[in-house]
Every structure is written in C-alpha cells, then in structure tokens.
A = this chain, B = another copy of it.
Amino acid sequence: MVPLAMQEPACAAIECQDCGFYRIGLFMGLDSGDTTLLDRYVKKKHMLKRGQVLYRAGEAFTCVYAIRSGSVKTYISTDDGRLQITGFHIPGELLGLNAMDDKRYNCDAMALETTSVCEISLDCFEALARQIPSAHYQMLRMMSKEIKLNQELMLLLGKKSAEERLATYLLTLSRRFALRNYSPTRFNLSMSRGDIGDYLGIAEETVCRIFTRFQEEGVVTTERRHIILNDLKRLSAIACEPCH
C-alpha cells in the first residue's frame, strides 16, 4: 500500500484516446506502457445532447463517468422544484465518485452542451484501481479537493453579497481556464444566466443586473455568453475571497 503522504506523482504522458484519462489525477500513476489497461477497462462511450441527464439522485451507483469533452452540471433539488447546482464539470473530471457512501448517486448530472463521456462500470473501475497502486490515495485527494471547493461555495452562499458572488465566480472560472492553458481573461460560458444564478444562490435577473453593473464600471465586457475580464485585480478586490 502506498503511504498517504506520498508526493504528487509526476504526470505521466499517457493518453487514452477515448477518455482523456491522462488528465485525470487518478490515473497519473500509470506507466506509459500500461496504456492498454485503459482500453481494456473503458468500455462505453456516450454522447449527450444539451439537457440530457447522465444520472439522477437516488439511482443505484453503477458507473463512474469521465468527461471527454463538453461540460456537465450537477445539482440537487427540493420536491417543489427549487434546485442548487453543486458544480460545473469539465473535460478530465470524474463524476459519480461521491455515490461511494450509500451506493446511490446523491445528485443529478446533466449536460450543459453537447458532451462526450466515458462510462466506466464500477467493476471495471475497481479492477483498474487495483492495477494502480496509488489509485485509492488519488481518489482521496480528489474528494478532499472537492470538499475544499464545496466549503468555499458554502462561504459564498452563506455570507457573500450578490456582487461578491459573481466576482468570485468569474475569478474561479478564470483560474480554471488558466490551469488548462486557455485565456484567463476571454472565454465562453457553457452555462446560462439561470444556471449561474442556481449555482450562486441568486436569481437569474440579479445575475444579469450585476453583469451590466460590472460592464458599466468597465470591469468586464459581456456579449451574451462571451466574457472578457478587463480588470482581474478589481474583480479580486470585489470578490472578497477566503483567507488562508
């Protein structure tokens, strides 16, 4: 078994054509020669159209999904139709892992746009995990990271003004794009204003109003879903981020 405190494994240059697995932390421990493993274990490939559902809360936990392209939102909802989006997920991310506790998905997952995912059955996933010594440890890290993100979202939902929420959101996106070598200041959103509102805990209309306010102040430029961040410093000042 691998010690818990092991160093971050170097990112082996492995690529599964189907899934972009090479980007997924979990599989970074794999040696290039093991690429065939992926092909052996990754069975199905799915294509989802905008609005199609990958899984629903309460369904039995049978598969893990790796996003290959596109994007997915996960959300939970009340009986009377209110919903809270818990995350937007992009290529390279793994979905479904947090059904591990009670063997049922605890949220819905829906494609935001045309999205391609690899479905990995639980059996295959376990077999794959057994082949990779650090797999469990990597999974722990992934979940630990998700918990950290969730806590920051809780701070946002519990204590921030609408303006701070949107600024925080734009900055988070910016950094996420930067990590993937996309422009941190110019990007297209795959989610609607309504989705942003359902993620930030504010009304769609409020999202719009604050976008226009930011635009009037010159902080951002928006053209429907195309966003340009003109002043990251300013945005960061507005966002009021958690201190560490």
Chain B residue at minimal CB-CB distance from A241 = B78
Residues A101 and B153 in contact in the complex (CB < 8 Å), given A122-B4, A140-B136, A143-B143: no
Q: What is the distance, in angstroms, from A165's C-beta to the closest C-beta of chain B?
A: 10
User: Do A240 and B144 contact each other (CB < 8 Å), given the known contacts A151-B107, A154-B157, A157-B158?
Assistant: no
**A148 near B4: Cβ-Cβ < 8 Å:** no
Who on chain B is nearest to A154 by CB?
Answer: B84
Which residues of the partner chain B approach A84 to less than 8 Å between Cβ atoms? 151, 154-155, 158-159
In the complex the two chains form, what is the Cα distance from A32 to B102 in whole Å? 26
Residue A243, interface by CB 8 Å: yes
A141 and chain B: residue at smallest CB distance: B101
Which residues of the partner chain B approach A3 to less than 8 Å between Cβ atoms? 126
Q: Which residues of chain B are near A86, meaning CB under 8 Å?
A: 151, 154
Within 8 A of B (CB), among A131-186: 136-137, 139-148, 150-155, 157-160
Q: Report B-chain residues with C-beta under 8 Å of the C-beta of A200.
A: 158
Q: In the complex this chain forms, how many copies of it are found?
A: 2
Using CB atoms and an 8 Å cutoff, list the residues of chain A in contact with chain B: 1, 3-5, 57-58, 76-80, 82-84, 86, 97-104, 106-107, 122-123, 125-126, 129-130, 136-137, 139-148, 150-155, 157-160, 198, 200-201, 240-244
29 A-B pairs with CB atoms under 8 Å apart are: A1-B129, A5-B103, A5-B122, A57-B243, A57-B244, A78-B243, A79-B241, A82-B155, A82-B159, A83-B155, A84-B154, A98-B143, A98-B147, A99-B144, A100-B140, A101-B148, A102-B145, A104-B244, A106-B148, A106-B244, A107-B151, A139-B140, A140-B140, A143-B147, A147-B150, A150-B150, A150-B151, A157-B157, A157-B201
